[in-house]
Amino acid sequence: MDKPVEHITFTNESGGHRGRYIEHCDVEEKKNKGENEAHHAFNLLKKYNATDKIEAILVDNTAKNTGRLNGLHPNLERLLQRPIHLITCMLHINELPLRHLFVELDGKSKTPGKYSGPIGKAIENSVWNDEPVTFKSISVSQDFVNLNSSDKKDLSNDQKLLYAYCLAISSGEVPDDVKGKKPGPVFHARWLTTAIRVMILYTRTNNPSPELMLLTEFIVKSYTFFWFRIRQLDNFTKAPQILHEMVHILNDFPDVVKDIVVPVIKRNSFCLYPDNFLASLLFSTVREHRQKAVDVIIDCRRSPKQPGEKLRNGANFIQTVRTQALPKIDFGAA
């Protein structure tokens, strides 16, 4: 019997070569996944003479990548014998709350393409072939991105359909040119298509259940809004701002949603690591933010501290060396 393997793809994510494929490898699954994958990444860097050049890695928010002790990131730092910047995927952060909310409200999936609850079972059917019913509109934020025809050319069919159904539910009517369009298949790794199918089901359901109503509201007001917001801003220095907006919108949802989503956000707030937050301030459009970042950098260079020791001179919100502990978030301050 063949042993299970992890498929790892390496791409260049800087400058004019952003998104360019480098190579891939199949890694045999072992107990210490992060350490194992770090060795493969290190060997790749040596192959391309980049061990002294790499400044950051961009990864999904899985424990094997981000684990504070045994993840790919800390293990790669040990091999390089220096710190490197950890950037995590905001689209993945946006997906995780929906995934957990769906599971809690409707039930876990039995297989990658099969769900156990009534909503999950219903979205496996061709509900888009049914005629839309009269449904209650759910308003999207007035800051929702406005895509023109040129913007839409860069989107896949499913991404266009996500956008179209969000606007349809916000308006209270599904346009004729959207009604019969088929979304991609249900799959555990593709929550975008699950979100589309939930919205389609909502527009075809008389007297939707509280669970379907809540899921649809979250998809319209949070998931879809931030999916396009992240694509619009498209820079890791904007991640703390996006996370703040997520928390702000989350405060408008009932406690049943907050109880599920808040722990997920807390576990994945890597964009608030001190170096990430400092980069966000440094590239801010607000002069006072940039000045604060410069002051912190100057203070660090003048008086280097021991790991964990906080800065003086009014900059005690950031530390000289990341301790790998996720920062605490005040969800009531958004």
pLDDT digits (tens, 9 = 90+) for 31-68: 667 888 888 899 989 998 989 989 889 888 888 888 88
How far is Cα of residue 34 from the mean position of the Cα atoms in its chain? 20
* 232 has a pLDDT exceeding 90: no
Question: 115 burial class (0-12, 13-18, 19+ CB within 10 angstroms)?
Answer: buried
Other Cβ atoms less than 10 A from the Cβ of 85: the count is 16
What are the residues whose beta carbons fall under 8 Å from the beta carbon of 47, sequence distance 6 or more?
Answer: none
Residue ranges of alpha helices (H) inside 268-315 are 274-282, 287-302
Q: Measured over all CA atoms, what is the biggest interatomic distance in the chain, rounded to whole angstroms?
A: 68
pLDDT value of position 254? 94
- Pair 60, 92: CB distance under 8 Å: yes
Torsion of CA 104, 106, 112, 113, to 10 degrees: -160
Element housing 272 (H / E) = none
Residue 18's pLDDT band (boundaries 50, 70, 90)? confident
pTM: 0.85
Q: What pLDDT shows up at residue 334?
A: 58
At 114 the three-state DSSP class reads: strand
User: What pLDDT was estimated at residue 324?
Assistant: 62
Average pLDDT, the chain: 85
Tell me the pLDDT tens digit for each residue of 267-290.
999 898 888 899 999 999 999 999
| pLDDT band at 323; cut points 50, 70, 90 | very low
Q: How confident is the model at residue 313 (pLDDT cuts 50, 70, 90)?
A: very low
Element (H, E) at 167: helix 157-171
Whether residue 314 is predicted with pLDDT greater than 80 in this model: the reply is no
* Contact by Cβ (8 Å): 183, 193: yes
Q: What is the pLDDT of residue 112?
A: 60
Q: Give the pLDDT of residue 255.
A: 94
Task: Using DSSP bridges, classify how beta strands 85-88 and 56-59 pair: parallel, antiparallel or unpaired.
Answer: parallel
Higher pLDDT: 310 or 126? It is: 126
8: its two tokens: 């790892």
**293, 299, 201, 213: which is closest to 256 by C-alpha?**
213
The pLDDT tens digits of the residues spanning 186-215 come to 876 678 999 999 999 999 999 999 999 999
